[in-house]
Chains A and B, each alone.
Chain A
Amino acid sequence: MFEKSLTDLIRGIRANKKNEQKYIAACLQEIHQEIRSNDPDIKAQAVSKLTYLQMLGYDMSWASFHVVEVMSSAKFFQKLTGYLAATQSFRQDTDILMLTTNLLKKDLASGNHLEVGIALNGLSHIVTPDLARDLCQDLVSMLSHSRPYVRKKVVLVLYKLFLKFPEALRLSFPRLKERLDDSDPSVICAVVNVICELARKNPKNYLSLAPQLFKLLNTSSNNWMLIKIIKLFGALAPLEPRLAKKLLPPITQQIQTTAAMSLLYECIHTVIIGGILTSGGNSDALAAMCVNKLRIFLEDPDQNLKYVGLLALSKILPTYPKLVAENRDIILKCIDDHDISIRLRALDLVVGMVNKKNLTDIVKRLMSHLLPSNNNNESSTLPSTLLEPAYRADIINRIIFICSQNSYSNIVNFEWYIAVLVDLTSVAGINVGDLLTMQIMDVGIRVKSVRQYCVKAMQRLLSDSNLLENCKFPESNSEPGVTKLPHNVQAVYIQSSLKVYAFWANSLTYNWDEDSKQELLRFTEMIKNKISMFCSCTDLEVQERAYNAREIFSIIHQNLSMTSDTTYGVGNNIYASTNKSPSIISELYPLFFSYELNPVAPKAQKKVPVPEGLDLDAWINEPLPESENNESEEEEESYGHGYTHKFGGSGDLIFSSGSGTAIGRRRGRKSNKKGYDSEEDEETKEKRRKERNERIKNDPFYISSTGKDLSKHSKSDKSDNLSKRIPEEIDVDSIPVVRLTMDEFTFKTDKKTSKKSKASKKEKRHSPPPVPPVIYTDIGEMPENATLSDEEKDTTKTGHNKPVWNTIPSKSGGILDVDFSGVSNVDLSTPLGADEKFPSIAVYLAPEEVRRREEERVRRRVTERRIKQTQESTSRVKKNKSEKPKSKVSIEITPNTKSAEDNGEQSSKSKKVPKKKRTGETEDRKKKGKKDKGKKPKKKNSISDNATLEHNDNDVVVDPIKTLVDSDDIQVLYTLRLGSSTEAKNEAPAMIADFTVRNNCSYKHPLSKLTFAFESTTDIQFNKALIEIGELQHGEQKSVTIEFKVLGIVGAGLTVSGNITYEIQSDEETKTNRDIPIRFELPMAVFMLNMPKITPEEFKSCVSQTGDFPFTGSTSIRLNASINLVEHSFQNDVIRLISMATGTHIVEQVPGAITIYGRSVQGYQVAGLAKLTVEKNLMLVETEIPGSVQNTSVRIELKCTDQAFVDGLIREIDYLFRKDL
């Protein structure tokens, strides 16, 4: 009486806002008490409270059992509460679910349709594969329930069922299809819903429904359903081109007339994605109409319409870019929308719309989003999301993407682009630095004309104190702050400062006078001092460069001061005459600038063909510890490293020196240069080279000798020393590195657009097609004779990678756990095999089957298997007893002749007539009865024949001939064997089935048009699925052989199915067609190879490497104690059967145990141990056979290299023994 009701609880929670946790904890305590109460009302109330708390985030899984109790309450209200709680709290792994099967069955059969309704709803939430299997029969029969209320729910629940238990789909689909013609619109709607969902997974199964759906499309007025139907057609249309044409008129009609925006949208969407546009005749008109309608969406003030409108537009964009472009104005308006999702969608579109003309405008708009501070009054109105870093980063990425796509083909003015990039750097708070750096460098490298501007911009950036707080750039370079930069930056920095210095010094030489000389002196002094601070750097690269640079500066300084001394000493007259800069300055310049640095494709190095006669492993010079060449190569390498590092993953460019034409260019420059001593021509070079080689030979410690060399002031020596640092200066032709030419470039400046590109286009094989002006479209320099095959290899590689990409699950991070794989694999196109039955039917007919399944299930779940199994078996016995009478009453008859045969005597009582015949005359049956009796002994004989055969030669099993069909017309026997060409491991094993057909017709009529038809499935593929035999006289016997490949996983339950059709003259005149479904399983043993016996020693060593046999399976077989000589029977029958079932041979046999070994076609190895155990356990006393105290069983353990295979073997052993003993 004093319990809180749910309302009280809610009130209480609201009243205790401050200490809600505490209050709820107290309530939970109460609920714990209440839920154990015997009063169902209190219990239900507790559960309902718990459900509420569950919504607030409290765990209620502990109460599952109580929930089930409430569910089973007789009172409707309590039942409702219980189901609600169940749907909210139960999960797939809730154990209690197993208990609900019967409860659900009961509720589903209830006379109260409301109860049925809630049960169905509940089921849809809690259904598990087990539940699905057990209940699908009930549900399918409910499809024809008298109330539409129930029917529609059943239809929807079935969908969930299909997901959990895909076999059900095949079985119940015809029934489901009937419901499309239901009298109640909501039932139809439900069916359409379900089919639509199913068709999303595997549309081709549902093509056959098109006419029906088409009719609905034209007649129905239910918008919800129309949407679904249209969606469904959208999935179907790509599969059937004619459908698209047919759909065109009704869909156009809908688009024009419907008032519902959602339907309109769905129509347009389907038109776009369903490929209707591409196949229809007047598709342009339709597309235009769609886009016009979408424009209405965009103009609508409703955000949702805008959003979907943009979404649809972006889908139509790839096919009809022009139509979309017509709406540019409105799309651009959407970019400024305050709703971020609309913006993002609009951005998607904009990215696709960009062209040369509108690029500037669009980028400007985008920039305004990034830099709202420019416009103070605007920033206040912008929503906060605009300032979100992720959004801003996204915009920057998009800007860069639209600008750089197609090798900058849209950009006309690169100075503008650089300016944009520079502006982007000042956008605060986002980490896009790398991207921007890359872009700036990329543009700077590719576009020559813009370099100057670029450098200016960069300088401004560098001096921007906001950007690089500590770093102020040269002219007066080398601020102490630089040392704080990362090492790779420092390294580049030193090199660049040297370069800048050289350039500057050189520029001085044009106007050389005393002032500039003094300035140079002063500056050299300064920079020398500054650079020495890098000499103590911890990074080797920096250190080395710093030392080098310092030495260069000191040489220059010395040289300068020396000349200045002399000039001063001699007097002013000399000064006047020597209005010429010291040569060291002018010499410094070509060191850095004589060669053009061109981008080199990242793969260029690899593509350099090895020149003939070059042995890369041989020493180039005699084994000096550090040869010059090595060093320079190293250096070059490190350059490459530095840059590739910079460019990150997508960096396509590294630097290297151009040779070849570049050399020519340098010459030209040289001769032009004023004050350059032109005497340094090839001869002197040659001479110097020799000199140097001489020296190197004499001096093994070449590097450490630098200082010594420096002390010599011979000019040539100096320049030599200097040149040593720069790789390209040393005898270029002796380095077999990159042979690069300019002719692969197509660069032109804006002004001199000579149409050279066409000629050069052909030359470069690697460039993307469009060649806009001003741009290097090349991915970089390639060696001349780089082979195309490399590239091909690359493309194939990427092609290969693609599927891998695609397989990355797009729903990673998803929160739901639905697995559609099963349903999408179901194939509805093949007719239902007669053997395919709802499992619950099989329950009544083949107890063996159920028993096996149950056992399998139990085996999976239970760890203490043996105990459980015995319990199971006792319950099984009971079950059998209770089921047996049913099986007699049942009208449904299995057509599965195989299983009937397997069941042996038991099933001989049940009639084994193919489905079709069931409708035939009853006299058939009487005959059958006789026939079965007659057949029995015969079969036994055959088995015992086999047995003796086996027994005599105790090797590998001979495949016994099995009966496939044995009716009063025809008898089909078959044997299975391995195909011959199957030794190759990676090939799917081929099997050969030999059939022997015999006309058994009692009226002695011939059978005509006898045909075997097999179904190829995903697992089993027939080379030739149809075999015609033709006519068969009475008593005649013919053999057929059919070959097929087993593609699926070899494991339990691989079955081959098909039909035998024939005509038979039943009377004098009339011929009747008969159609007998056939089906047989592929036993594991068939896959075993006939291999020589191995010795016990070999076996031991083989098995001891347990890593080879990671998968195990085991079973125990109860031996009927009524067989007296258990020991004896073990030795004879059991062993034989085990060996037969597994296709293994016996390795060793000791009293009471054997070991077996075998190998399958696929290379799976199987090793096993079978042991006879005699237990005297009172708990397990057999109830079946009174009087026997002993419980004997054979325990078989198998180890295998494949799980499915071993499972299959175990199953077969179980099967075999149940059959035989």
Chain B
Amino acid sequence: NKQGQTRFSRYYSGMPIQAEERVLMEADIARKCLKRSDVQYGQYKLAYRRYASLFFVIGFDEEENHLSILELVQAYVEILNTYFDNVCELDIMFNIEKVHVILEEMVSNGRIVETNKHNVLAPVLEMNKASR
């Protein structure tokens, strides 16, 4: 979010071993986004979009298509919006599992699986039913 706190994070190919290290890294990335200074972090490029007070940041490697990543962020936010009916920071905070699940449906293993809104949400809704 705007304060540089991490509300939600997911890693697809390993992550810094130490928890503290990871927190530092996240803070660093957030700072970069807030300052609009650099779109590079180590070997990764960062693509981010800002929605109100929230930043959605994705790190990816050189080969990936920047624009498609940005569109992915857009699609993701749209889906969250549909699911939560006008999503806000609190929604994400308090429904972190749902957020995870939705992302899981869209991105598996670091690759985009599904971008169709309906296809993403259908299993999530099913899961909700199943959990009850």
Contacts and interface: CB of A to CB of B under 8 A. Distances in A.
Interface of A: 6-7, 10, 48, 51-52, 54-59, 75-77, 80-81, 84, 91-92, 112, 114, 117-118, 120-121, 124-125, 149, 152-153, 156-157, 159-160, 186, 189-190, 193-194, 197, 200, 223-224, 227, 231, 260-262, 265-266, 269, 304-305, 307-308, 311, 339-341, 383-385, 388, 810-811, 813-818
Given A52-B96, A815-B25, A265 B42 contact: no
Interface of B: 6, 8-9, 11-17, 19-20, 22-23, 25, 35-40, 42-44, 47, 63, 65-68, 70-71, 93-94, 96-97, 100-101, 104, 108-109, 111-116, 119, 123, 126-127, 130-131
16 contacts: A6-B94, A55-B6, A57-B20, A80-B97, A112-B130, A114-B126, A149-B123, A152-B108, A156-B109, A189-B114, A224-B68, A341-B36, A341-B38, A813-B42, A815-B14, A815-B16
A84, A114, A159, most chain B CB atoms within 10 A:
A114
A193 B43 contact: no
A193 B38 contact: no
Contact of A153 (B63, B65, B108, B116): B108
A173 B83 CA distance: 37
B65 A262 contact: yes
A308 B67 contact: yes
A341 B41 CA distance: 12
B127 A76 contact: yes
A622 to B, nearest CB: 66
Contact of A10 (B19, B42, B93): B93
Contact of A186 (B16, B23, B70, B114): B114
Contacts of A231: 63, 65
A55 B15 CA distance: 12
A266 B36 CA distance: 25
B119 to A, nearest CB: 6
Q: List 9 tightest A-B contacts by C-beta distance, closest first.
A: A262-B67, A57-B23, A77-B131, A817-B14, A124-B109, A262-B68, A816-B14, A193-B111, A156-B108
Contacts of B114: 152, 186, 189
A84 B97 contact: yes
Given A186-B119, A266-B65, A308-B66, A55 B8 contact: yes
A307 B69 CA distance: 14
A145 B115 CA distance: 21
B59 to A, nearest CB: 9
Contact of A114 (B37, B93, B97, B127): B127
Contacts of B13: 816-818
Contacts of B42: 811, 813-815
A810 B42 CA distance: 10
Given A114-B130, A388-B37, A815-B16, 7 more contacts: A55-B6, A152-B114, A186-B114, A227-B65, A262-B71, A815-B15, A815-B44
Contacts of B109: 124-125, 156-157, 159-160
Contacts of B94: 6-7, 10
A160 B14 CA distance: 12
Contacts of B23: 56-57
A160 to B, nearest CB: 5
A339 B67 CA distance: 17
Contacts of A52: 96
A153 B29 CA distance: 30
A261 B100 CA distance: 28
A392 to B, nearest CB: 14
B49 to A, nearest CB: 9
Given A57-B22, A152-B114, A190-B113, A48 B97 contact: yes
Contacts of A117: 123
Contacts of A76: 127, 130-131
Contacts of B111: 156, 159, 190, 193-194, 197
B14 A224 contact: no
Contacts of A55: 6, 8-9, 96
B21 to A, nearest CB: 8
Given A159-B109, A304-B70, A54 B19 contact: yes
Nearest to A84: B100
Contact of B67 (A77, A265, A385): A265
A810 B43 contact: yes
A186 B106 CA distance: 11
Nearest to A186: B114
A291 B109 CA distance: 35
A814 B43 contact: yes
A304 B66 contact: yes
Contacts of B101: 80
B22 A193 contact: no
A526 to B, nearest CB: 55
Contacts of B12: 125
Contacts of A77: 130-131
A206 to B, nearest CB: 15
Contact of B39 (A156, A190, A307, A815): A307
A91 B108 contact: no
A472 to B, nearest CB: 41
